[in-house]
Structure 1
Amino acid sequence: MACVKSFISHLFVVQAWQDAGLGLSTASNEACKLFDAVLTQYATWANDEGLGGIEGCLSKLKAADPNFTMGHVIANGLELIGTGSSVRLNKELDSAMRTMMTLSKSQPLSEREKLHVSAPMGKGTGAACDLWEQILQSHPTDLLALKFSQDTYFYLGYHIQMRDSVARVFPFWTPDVPLSSYVKGYYSFGLMETNLFDRAEKLALEALAIDQTDAWSVHTIAHINEMKAEVKKGLAFMKETEANWKNSDILACHNYWHWALYFIEKGEYEAALTIYDNHIAPQCLSSGSMLDIVDNCSMLYRLRLEGIKLGDRWDNVLKITKKHTKDHILLFNDVHILMSSLGAKDHKTTNELLTTLQELAKAPCEDHELSLAPSLGLPLCQAFMEFEKGNCDKAVDLLYPIRYQLIQLGGSNAQRDVFNQLLIHAALNCKSKAKQNLAKCLLRERDVMRPNSPMTERLMRKAAAVHSMA
């Protein structure tokens, strides 16, 4: 695996993969180099124009050796995990998965490759992770297995597993192994999501000392400063490092989202909207990626909770989200898409999202996400709807009992904080004195976790005002 900045002539060929203990079943050096190029860009969260970008490399990879099974594995895995696609919706992907399976049975593959073929059939569930972990037990430097498992654990809300998966292989990622500094970044993120902030920051800074363009390690530190409400430190860090990560096209929008969160925390809403208008909204329009869509919806909804007028921004987002209304691949995505239809006051789209999700949730199936719809996804969506209607007591009744289970919907602690904010705002606006008091309890809890948070202080003042009027 070569550094993302290297030319394609420096990427691993057949013999190099064998020497690394990760042999690939193809005789094509070109296919091996292109496999490396795709993996490297995926691992570093950046399309490299010099390599042709991920999509360009995948196209060339297929042409270099159409029967290269691991080429099919990485292409299908990225479609399933990287883009949030589904064989339920995508007939081409379903066909590609079948082709991969047929090829794998016609060739003498290694046991590691056979496990790689089987894992995508788990469709991004714990079963798939079990197979990637099996690979990592005997091949700890298999970056594809590590990265696929990391992303899947994240989507499942398995933060401890995400952390420990890297911990088990971390000693093998010595400085001489290509991309080892990025694995430091993966580990730091898992440590951060399990609230081991000091250790996480140390590793992320070590990774950045090796490669300052590591947008993922920047992202980890952005999370740490946000979770600790260290706003001044967070703003300074993002400004100082912007030139290093702004060209990491897959993650830049998300890093700008984190930057804007600090301004919302401070109550500097115009500054947050400037970042939104200059970086977050345009990226969503050009990429259409679900990560960028989620960032857009989440950013606007947080501002909506703060009472900020957003003009036609919701309408612009809805133009992108509307086509995903009936996808129902991830409940986490569904609730963000719902934010956009509620924000744009598009009742037809809102009802369509809810009714199609309800129908899918009724049918018996093995789909992990849909199995969570009755107990988590639908009550959460309904809570948003009730809040928008002004039925705050009902919103609290729906959201409060499931608050600790929402981690199962995936996403990061920072991303899911919008649900905490909704609960607090709903409780503050309840007619019931008991629920108004709950709001104060939730704010005391938040104050312990994020000391000196300007947002918490603002909300506490509001809670005190509500109490004095009661």
Structure 2
Amino acid sequence: MAPVCLRDCKAWQDAGMSLSTTSNEACKLFDATLHQYVTWTNDKTLGGIEGCLKKIKEADPNFVMGHVISNGLELIGIGRSPIIDPEFRKELNVMSDLAKTQPLSEWEELHVAALETFAKGNLPKAAEMWDWILLDHPLDLLAIKLAHDSYFYLGQQTQMRDSISRILPYWTATTPLSSYVKGMYSFGLLETNFYDQALKVASEALTVDPKDSWSVHTIAHVYEMKAKIQEGLTFMEQTESNWKEGDMLACHVYWHWALYFIEKGEYEAALTLYDKYIAPMCLASGSMLDIVDNSSLLHRLQMEGVHLWPYSRWE
């Protein structure tokens, strides 16, 4: 991955997305957080997502878009709910109150409104609002990624594909992270059964950045859907060193790798991946998505007739 050039206040303004803060540090940290969200990794050189979010609030506690990205990541990560978490509800209220007490651009106001809508449980409407933002701001990576993830959760495959398709012409090869946007598009193509085109687009994205784990994820799905199990196993083995450090998605990619072994009836190989990577990563992250992968893999093995308990290596 090329060195990250983080945008200050003027760079954000030049991109047509002025941020309501005078702190260049806050703007750069916002960009650093966004970069990690899009690339599915906690980058130690940037301080990790949690570190960046903490520093944003230190740099400018009244920075509305700092609160937006912080709350947005909490909501989209499905780890916290304002319905049952009063502290999170308080954080969302801080964002809303700040938005009412300072002049914001229409772009920022829409982001706040979309988050408030999401927090109330109306994810379809929130996704629609992020698409509204993209009509005037097609280079808004936060809106692109939140919409993409939302359509994924909602199972709205066509919207997930077309949301990216509409903005893709505005992204050139020289636009930072453009290959990751292409990778998102490849997944939309996959989900709408354009397997060959999805494979082509994901491969193009990986040519630019081999560490793009979402494009790796697309290709894993393509080989599964086309029942090309050996091709999938070979691809995983040959590319593992590229994507295994992407801590936010690596567990899921290993899960896909294990599915190939289950398909072949090589259950011991699937359990080896579980023991060595999937379970430890889940324990380290505590992510709900990683927990789902862990439980679903064990359930699949159980349905195959594999006796998981007592299991000697867990004794």
Normalising by the smaller structure, the TM-score range is over 0.9
Taking the TM superposition and a 5 Å limit, the aligned residue runs for 1:28-427 are: 28-123=23-118, 125-311=123-309
User: How much has 1:59 moved relative to structure 2?
Assistant: 0.3
Distance in 2, matches of 1:90 and 1:237, equals 42
CA RMSD of aligned residues (A): 1.2
How many residues in Structure 1 have an aligned counterpart in Structure 2?
Answer: 309
Deviations 1:223-275 (A, max 9, x none): 11011110000000000000000100001111000000000000000000000
User: How much has 1:312 moved relative to structure 2?
Assistant: 5.2
Distance in 1, matches of 2:310 and 2:50, equals 33
Distance in 1, matches of 2:55 and 2:196, equals 43
User: How much has 1:122 moved relative to structure 2?
Assistant: 1.7
Paired letter, 1:155 = Y
Give the secondary structure class of the aligned counterpart of 1:49: coil
Aligned sequence identity (%)? 61
Paired letter, 1:254 = H
Distance in 2, matches of 1:240 and 1:33, equals 35
> Does 2:21 align with 1:23?
no
Paired letter, 1:43 = V
Higher relative contact order (CA 8 A, sep 6+): 2
* Structure 1 stretches of 4+ moved >3 Å: none
Change beyond 3 A, Cα 1:253–1:304: same
Paired letter, 1:93 = F
Distance in 1, matches of 2:195 and 2:310, equals 38
Taking the TM superposition and a 5 Å limit, the aligned residue runs for 1:2-21 are: 6=3, 10-21=5-16
Paired letter, 2:271 = L
* Alignment gaps of 5+ in structure 2: none
Change beyond 3 A, Cα 1:5–1:210: closer
Paired letter, 1:53 = G
Distance in 2, matches of 1:65 and 1:283, equals 33
Q: Which residue is equivalent to 1:466?
A: none
Distance in 2, matches of 1:120 and 1:19, equals 25
Change beyond 3 A, Cα 1:312–1:216: farther
Computing the radius of gyration over CA atoms, which structure comes out larger, 1 or 2? 1
Give the secondary structure class of the aligned counterpart of 1:129: helix
Paired letter, 2:127 = C
**Between 22-31 and 118-127, the greater mean CA deviation after superposition:** 118-127
User: How much has 1:168 moved relative to structure 2?
Assistant: 0.6
Q: Which residue is equivalent to 1:334?
A: none
Distance in 2, matches of 1:210 and 1:202, equals 13
Normalising by structure 2, we get a TM-score of 0.96
Distance in 2, matches of 1:56 and 1:244, equals 24
Paired letter, 1:102 = D
Deviations 1:421-441 (A, max 9, x none): xxxxxxxxxxxxxxxxxxxxx
* Alignment gaps of 5+ in structure 1: 317-470
